Amino acid sequence: MNSSRSVFICIGLACALLLGACDNDLTSPARRAPVFDASTAAVVNGEPIYISDVELEAVAQGRIEPGENFGPDHTEYQIVLEQLIDQRLLAQEAVRRSLDRTPQAQRRLETARERLLGNFLMEDLVANEVTDAAIDRMYDEQVKLQQIDDEVRIRHILFETQEDAAAVLPRARAGEDFTALAFEFSKDTRTRLDGGSFGWVSPNEMIDPFPAIIADTTEGEISEPFESEQGWHILKVEQRRTRPPKTKQEMRPEIVTYLTFTKISDILRELRANAEIEQRDGAAPPMAPPDPEAILDEPVEDTAGPQDTPETRAPAEDETPTEE
């Protein structure tokens, strides 16, 4: 981070020297007066930089997470804005010198445009097709595969309504004896007299959504209220005999990455099948689009039948879409 800031400090100094040697074109009073509104972060020689631009750059640099609240009050905001101002000044100077008009520059600009358009497509896929429902389905499949040999000791309390479960949950999390609460409130006649205990169980042998809830609840913790075909529950994981699978929050970035690569691969296969692609004689044959399976650390069991589908495999942790 410090080296990155040093680079931009040097760039800022170079900008100052460069602009001092230029004619007065960029700073001429004849230029239109800056116009600010709620969306504008700065105006550089009449060209606006928007707050959304600053936010996107902060995400790209890893300073904030996507969707994190970000604005002028954020500690990183001014740093990123100054970088974008320097970048805009350098770009304006390049245009003033007609450096953007050479054939080489035009090709590189077009390549950059294509890369950005590809990123826009990826963002659109994540927003519209990599949905919470798709993530939940894949997570459920993954925890079933990861919990094949898992055994846990759990207790639960069965309620008739979500409201009843939500009313008892704070008491259980505040430290009241879960066994006593189960004896008092549970509607499950099989486990109520034993304090809601299931004993040692294999999660995958239980009805949905118990396997996913157990995976998403750490040892000693109590789950959020959830609904099954029996009613509404809260659940406590008392002990595990094997290493627990990752929680949904921990696995979500991997799933989003994997589903995104899968969607991109599907689109590329369709586009290549319908495109006219000609390569120079002697060139290597066209490569197939990247297979999402190739980015996986470990192949896992295919539960979808004879057709090999990606939804039963875990994505690699270190493969994430990047924004250029």
Q: How many domains does the chain have?
A: 3
pLDDT at 310 over 60: no
- Identify the residue whose tokens are 């659940």: 235
Specify whether 235 is located in the same domain as 265: no
Does residue 231 lie in a domain region?
yes
Lowest-pLDDT choice from 165-179, 266-280, 289-303: 289-303
Does residue 106 lie in a domain region?
no
Per-residue pLDDT band for 14 (boundaries 50, 70, 90) equals very low
pTM of the prediction? 0.42
Mean pLDDT confidence for 219-239: 93
Does residue 119 lie in a domain region?
no
For residue 276, the model assigns a pLDDT of 85
Per-residue pLDDT band for 314 (boundaries 50, 70, 90) equals very low
Does residue 116 lie in a domain region?
no
Specify whether 9 is located in the same domain as 95: yes
Last residue of a domain, one of 100, 121, 138: 100
Does residue 307 lie in a domain region?
yes
DSSP H helices, 210-247, are: 210-215
DSSP characters for 279-312?
--TTPPPPPPPPPGGGG-SS-----S-SS--GGG
pLDDT at 317 over 70: no
Domain of residue 227: give its range.
Answer: 148-240
67: left (phi over 0), alpha (psi -120 to 50) or beta: left
Specify whether 307 is located in the same domain as 261: yes
State the sign of the Cα–Cα–Cα–Cα dihedral 186, 192, 195, 200.
Answer: negative
Specify whether 193 is located in the same domain as 263: no
Q: What is the mean pLDDT of the chain?
A: 77
Summarised one tens digit per residue, pLDDT across range 43-90 is: 999 999 999 999 989 988 989 887 788 888 999 999 999 999 999 999
Does residue 107 lie in a domain region?
no
Phi, psi of 275, deg, nearest 5: -95, 155
Share of the chain above pLDDT 90, in %: 37
Specify whether 229 is located in the same domain as 303: no
Does residue 110 lie in a domain region?
no
Does residue 309 lie in a domain region?
yes
For residue 92, give the amino acid letter: Q
Specify whether 217 is located in the same domain as 291: no
Mean pLDDT confidence for 228-243: 89
Summarised one tens digit per residue, pLDDT across range 75-128 is: 999 999 999 999 999 999 999 999 999 999 999 999 999 999 988 888 887 788
Last residue of a domain, one of 38, 66, 100: 100
Q: Cβ neighbours of residue 311 under 8 Å, at least 6 residues apart? A: 137, 138, 141, 304
Specify whether 27 is located in the same domain as 65: yes
Residue 240 pairs in a beta bridge with: 152
For residue 35, give the amino acid letter: V
